[in-house]
Structure 1
Amino acid sequence: MDLDQIWHQFIVHLLANDEITEASVKKFTGIPFIYIHYQSPEKDEGLLFFLIKKAASHSMRGKQLHCETIFVRQEEQVYVFRHRFFVPQKKMFCCGNLCPDCILFRS
């Protein structure tokens, strides 16, 4: 699985929306941040979160990935989010503590 390809698809899906004029990804200390130029008459941040989640779901389709998006700041029409794609962690062995998600309980 190539994360660069997933990031590229994610940005392409974001730019397909009329309200988003520009989108880019910058990494600082290994943490990816997305910069989005969002121009909407309502200035609805809920709609922007929905557009981000929709673009992420399109780019993750068919892969075992999850995403996390956290709002960082806004400067006029530029919104900054901390966004990451990650593989979910699953237990691979029994530790003997009778955990509810123990591998022994899988069918």
Structure 2
Amino acid sequence: MTILTDHERAFQIFQKQLIESDYLKEVRFKTYAGLPFLYVLPNPENPREVIENEIKRAAAKGMKGKSLTLTMSFVRKNQAEYVYRIRFLVPQRKMFCCGNLCDDCIRFTNP
């Protein structure tokens, strides 16, 4: 049994939601230089805004209950296919006290 991180679980849910979407004909994921890209072939009647909203909805379902944020950027339109760079980011936490009396100082958190 493999234990998945929140990030991996969120990406699996995201993929499943997109594959099952009624707005999209085909969905493919490819990784180049360590970055995930999403190739979307939409149903012809759906404009780009609808597609992007569907991607964001699927991402929100994947991120639900997890401390992640979505970074999505449009790369290009390839004939009828849209290409997006998609990343789920884990928020950074301070690991040391910098001495600037910050509100979120590591000294004020419980380990």
TM-score by length of 1: 0.83
The two structures, once aligned, show a CA RMSD in angstroms of 2.2
CA offset at residue 4 of structure 1?
A: 4.0
Q: Name structure 2 gaps, 5 residues minimum.
A: none
- After superposition, give the CA deviation of every residue in 1:11-68 in whole Å (9 maximum; x if it has no partner): 210122212011111000101101011124252x222111111101111222221111
Q: Is the 8 A contact 2:38 2:85 kept in 1?
A: yes
Show structure 1 runs of 5+ residues with no match: none
Alignment map for 1:40-55 (pairs within 5 Å): 40-43=44-47, 45-55=48-58
The count of residues paired between Structure 1 and Structure 2 equals: 106
Counterpart of 1:27 in 2: which secondary structure? strand
CA contact (8 A) 1:19 1:40 kept: no
Identity of aligned residues (%): 40
- Name 1:64's counterpart in structure 2: 67
- Residue identity opposite 1:35 in structure 2: Y
* 3-state SS in 1 of match to 2:54: helix
The two structures have a TM-score, normalised by structure 2, of 0.80
